[in-house]
Structure 1
Amino acid sequence: MLFVSKKVTQPEFLAYVNAAEINMIDTSMISFEAVPIECPESKYEVVFFTSPRSAQFFLNSCEIPHEVEIATIGKVTSDFVETKGYSIAFTGVTSGIPSIVSEEFKAFVGERKVLFPQSNYSQRSMQASLDTHQIIDLVVYKTVLTPIKLIAQPSILVFTSPTNVESFLQLNEVSESQKVIAWGKTTEAFLSKNGIKSDFTLKYSSFEELQKILVQLKANQ
């Protein structure tokens, strides 16, 4: 049995799960709420979106000035923002390794000022490489923990964010017999902080990459 801490909608991955006869529980253990925001009056030259969600909550209330360049953590977020009619100037490649994206983003930004629409739970990984005077943080939504007690014990656990790990552990435990897959280095670090070792960590944070790991695990059985 496979547990994924988010709803899976990718057709290719769902097709693989069905073909491989994998019993999957795909459910998030967090939810999201909009918070009242005021569109920033201070001038910024770049806006950075960490997820489609951060983009959606921001764009629900604010427009991006035409002279502002748009940057994102990875392809999924860029694809979403492009559906809203915007062009992307920077897309992180290794979204599962924020430290690399952060350094690449720093080179792209230079000395410009950056707006970061984000969650109240944001790890602020992208801000790490920038000077304080370049950063405008804007909380645009709230992450709420909604833990669920799993009746069955999946053999493989896929955690897609630190907050999903935190919520999961409120009602569930991770045993040594379970394989743990972290959706990137940030989630891996949070798991480690809670005494849980990741067997695999996604570099590109994609379902294609996850599928390759599952195929490998199945072949090793």
Structure 2
Amino acid sequence: MDRTITIGTRGSDLALWQANFVKAELAKINVNTKLKIIKTQGDNILNLRLDKLEGKGFFTKELEEQLLDGSIDLAVHSHKDLPTKNPEGLIIAAVSDREDPSEIIIILKDCVDATKKLSVKHNGTVGTSSNRRQSQLHAIRPDLEFENLRGNVPTRIQKLRDEKYDAIIMAKAGVSRLNIDLSEFYVEEIEPTAEMVPSPAQGVLAIQIRENDNDLFEILQHINNKEVAEQIGVERKVLNLFDGGCHMPLGCYCEKDEEGIFHTWTTKSLDQDEFPDRLYYTSNTTEGLAEKILAKFDISNRKIPKSIFISRELSEYSYFRKALEKHQIKIEDRSLIRTVPTIHKLDSYILKQIDWIFFSSKNGIEYFFKLEPLLPKDVKFGVVGRGSEDSLKNLGKSVSFVGESSDTAEVAKEFAEIANGKTVLFPMAKDSLKSIQKELSVETKIIELVIYETILEENVAQSFSDVLVFTSPSNVEAYFEENLLEPGQQVVSIGKSTGQKFDEMGVKYILPASPDEIGLAEVVFGIDVL
């Protein structure tokens, strides 16, 4: 191409990084470019929350106007800032690779409480201008206070440094792209499938051009990531169908696995103070996927469960309990097992030589620390599930590995990558399945410590709830020793190890994305009563 392409961009450090990234990508295919900095409404109004600004596209409108009048040829946007519909005459010609879409919570070091979820001190003040973030944070930490946070990435971090907040939350992508040193703070990452579902298209750049600029469109296909475009297309379609803008408390994240299955997490609430609904949905295709997700959130037109049985006792603060009670779903929570310790003293010599301690359950954590172990200072902890992570955090322990998949084989492979060749202690139940140990290499020293035994309750009463949720293989054994499924009852298994019991029985079951209360809430919300 002989002509020099004018790239329009906002003037913030992050926007300039993004524009220069596209400039460099185009230079690789011998396209000449120059930058033009344009101020937007969002740059000029810094004293209001994002949801108080009128209209949509307040970070993009001025760039789009200059595209339409020919002042620039190409605009680079953070895709999540774009309205779901392009102005007439404009199109998104290409999208970038996806930067990590996780959120990070950045905390002043004297405001850290390692016993709390996300490590912010009790009643801490968190800076954010996002209703989506506030809604999801408030659901897991109702004690937190929220204050408006505006400005570019360095400005926001400086406001934290000036102690205007105890913590702030923002997209990891912006910090990563600017290579900002956060060593003076405590930083915790929230993965996109965990407590914080990101904004649709978070971490992706959108390259916008005039619809009739065919030559430029063809050139941009050389830097277009079609796979990312397909996945964020689902996220953006969900946003469009909900008629949402930047202020809507909606998160959506879609990823494609190696088998070609699309996994989508969606969270939505009416406002930043309402407990959000979360949905996990899988599909072999993106065709019609957004529409199916939308239909699941329209609970007025489908039959959701009226009652749920779960094989564990829930506290009044339980995420799962709050998610169900929001929709007046009756909860029958009772454990069908009890546990007893098998040892009352630890061999101190064993503890001196370990590098890792891996827990597969909260019971293992409870019984192990009742023994008051004297541990090496540099010992690391690994767990299955965020529930076990919370149990360790409540004891003031930092967790180095969290297996978040409901498939223990996947968790085992992930743990093996970092623990092979080390000495790993497994405090466990008698007759444990030893799923994690099976994936460790022969060079890894495995120490198995049976510290408790599970005893099945007898004469377990039948449940007539619409959905039965089982949280361990032992609970499955105890229940079906005396009972059968009622017609129409549906079964949820917290993980594949528990699900193996149903496989043996020939019973169909639903598997959550993660073996914890958020994962269970996601799948139960999506169940239609037969």
Q: Same fold (TM over 0.5)?
A: yes
Question: How far 1:37 sits from its partner (Å)?
Answer: 4.4
Pairing partner for 1:5 from 308, 311, 315: 311
SS at match of 2:460: coil
Question: How far 1:4 sits from its partner (Å)?
Answer: 0.6
- Determine whether 1:185 maps to 2:489: no
Distance 1:93 1:211 in 2: 15
Paired positions, count: 218
Check conservation: 1:34, 1:57, Cα contact below 8 A: yes
5+ long unaligned stretches in structure 1 = none
**Cα distance change of structure 1 residues 152 and 66 upon mapping to structure 2, 3 Å threshold:** closer
- 1:40-99 superposed Cα distances (whole Å, 9 cap, x missing partner): 4232221111122211211111232213222111222122212222222222121x1111
- Aligned equivalent of 1:21: 328
**Cα distance change of structure 1 residues 152 and 203 upon mapping to structure 2, 3 Å threshold:** closer
Check conservation: 2:425, 2:447, Cα contact below 8 A: yes
Pairing partner for 1:33 from 309, 327, 340: 340
SS at match of 1:36: coil
- Aligned equivalent of 2:407: 97
What amino acid sits opposite 2:501 in the alignment?
Answer: F
What amino acid sits opposite 2:400 in the alignment?
Answer: A
Question: How far 1:204 sits from its partner (Å)?
Answer: 0.4
What amino acid sits opposite 2:366 in the alignment?
Answer: Q
CA RMSD of aligned residues (A): 2.0
Q: Which moved more, 1:122-131 or 1:169-178?
A: 169-178
Distance 1:59 1:27 in 2: 25
Q: Which moved more, 1:23-32 or 1:85-94?
A: 85-94
Check conservation: 2:429, 2:450, Cα contact below 8 A: yes
- Determine whether 1:136 maps to 2:447: yes
Q: Which moved more, 1:77-86 or 1:157-166?
A: 77-86
What amino acid sits opposite 1:203 in the alignment?
Answer: A
Distance 1:179 1:7 in 2: 20
Distance 2:419 2:482 in 1: 42
**Cα distance change of structure 1 residues 46 and 24 upon mapping to structure 2, 3 Å threshold:** same
What amino acid sits opposite 1:146 in the alignment?
Answer: E
- Aligned equivalent of 1:115: 425
Alignment TM-score, normalising by the size of structure 2: 0.39
Distance 1:4 1:148 in 2: 17
Higher-Rg member (1/2): 2
**Cα distance change of structure 1 residues 167 and 117 upon mapping to structure 2, 3 Å threshold:** same
Distance 2:333 2:389 in 1: 24
- 1:98-136 superposed Cα distances (whole Å, 9 cap, x missing partner): 111100110111201110000113111110111456211
- Determine whether 1:215 maps to 2:529: no
**Cα distance change of structure 1 residues 75 and 211 upon mapping to structure 2, 3 Å threshold:** closer
- Determine whether 1:167 maps to 2:167: no
Distance 2:467 2:374 in 1: 41
What amino acid sits opposite 1:168 in the alignment?
Answer: Y
Alignment TM-score, normalising by the size of structure 1: 0.89
Check conservation: 2:314, 2:321, Cα contact below 8 A: yes
Distance 1:106 1:16 in 2: 34
Question: How far 1:152 sits from its partner (Å)?
Answer: 4.8
Distance 2:462 2:367 in 1: 34
SS at match of 1:201: coil
Check conservation: 1:115, 1:137, Cα contact below 8 A: yes
Q: Which moved more, 1:55-64 or 1:147-156?
A: 147-156
- Determine whether 1:203 maps to 2:203: no
Distance 1:107 1:184 in 2: 21
Question: How far 1:29 sits from its partner (Å)?
Answer: 0.3
Distance 2:386 2:407 in 1: 14
Question: How far 1:38 sits from its partner (Å)?
Answer: 4.1
Distance 1:79 1:54 in 2: 13
- Aligned equivalent of 1:63: 374
Check conservation: 1:191, 1:197, Cα contact below 8 A: yes
SS at match of 1:17: helix
Check conservation: 1:158, 1:181, Cα contact below 8 A: yes
Distance 1:186 1:26 in 2: 21
Distance 2:314 2:469 in 1: 12
Distance 2:391 2:460 in 1: 32
What amino acid sits opposite 2:308 in the alignment?
Answer: L
Report % sequence identity. Answer: 25
Check conservation: 1:174, 1:196, Cα contact below 8 A: no
SS at match of 2:323: helix
What amino acid sits opposite 2:325 in the alignment?
Answer: N
- Aligned equivalent of 1:48: 358
